[in-house]
Amino acid sequence: KDLKIASPRGVQGPVAMSRWTCLIALASAVEFSVHVNAGGNKCFGEELAKHELLVAEFSTATIPITVEIQDPQTVIFTEHEKTQVKTAFTTNQAGPHVMCINNSDKRQKALVKVNVAFGPQAKDYSQIAKKEHLEPTQIALRRIEENLKNYHSNVLYMREREERMRSTNDSIAFRVIGYCLFNVVLMIAVGGWQMFHFKQFFRSKKVI
């Protein structure tokens, strides 16, 4: 497959959808081609921040495909049996977003061209420049501003994830300590009961 990547980004998340599931870590803008077996699926996932713009385009020569996009909780976009699918939306939730391609043809393999961009890379600054009558320098500053906002949003999201993981770890550690203390108390109680039982038994047998 041909792969073109710009503005590398090292965030990735696990995806497990079907027997033909594939996972890649996307960059801010990525364009590639992928083969999808007859009647098969391939899925691609990426961690996105909240309120982040995502633009995705999928196209084939003649074979119809079905595209489904999911956020961490539900399906947010579905397009059935089209040779070209394009969508753009702003994420409502932070977390892993999964894009799945299903080959509707049960007889032949499909070559799907995928073009995905998110964050500042997803915006068409040429249209913004025409609409707002901006100079090239102003466009460059606008792009830098958008990149900084996106970076700040991602930092906040990673901090939130870190706090959530720390809270989960603390909760697990507290439960483990509680379970260990319970086992210690239970063992002492069982040992004391056994000693009391044996003492009563030996007394009944007049051993002691």
User: Could you report the per-residue pLDDT of 166-186, keeping only the tens digit for each?
Assistant: 999 999 999 999 999 999 999
3-state helix, strand, coil in the chain (%, to 5): 40, 30, 30
**Band of residue 101 on the pLDDT scale cut at 50, 70, 90:** very high
Q: Tell me if residue 174 falls in helix, strand or coil.
A: helix
Indicate if the pLDDT at residue 17 is higher than 60.
no
pLDDT at 21: 36
Q: Are 142 and 38 within 8 A, CB to CB?
A: no
Q: Which residues contact 71 (CB under 8 A, 6 or more apart)?
A: 91, 92, 93, 95, 97
Indicate if the pLDDT at residue 119 is higher than 90.
no
Q: Tell me if residue 173 falls in helix, strand or coil.
A: helix
Nearest to 147 by CA among 6, 13, 3, 4: 6
Other residues' Cβ atoms within 10 Å of the Cβ of residue 103: 24
- What is the amino acid identity at position 49? A
pLDDT at 127: 67
The owner of tokens 């996106």 is 150
pTM value > 0.85:
no
Gap between the Cα atoms of 6 and 142, Å rounded: 19
pLDDT at 207: 64
For the stretch 34-46, pLDDT in tens is 999 998 999 988 8
pLDDT at 59: 92
Q: For residue 131, give the H/E element and its range.
A: helix 125-132
Nearest to 42 by CA among 29, 33, 51: 33
pLDDT at 203: 78
The span from the first CA to the last CA of the chain, in angstroms, equals 85
- What is the amino acid identity at position 155? V
User: What is the average pLDDT across 33-61?
Assistant: 87
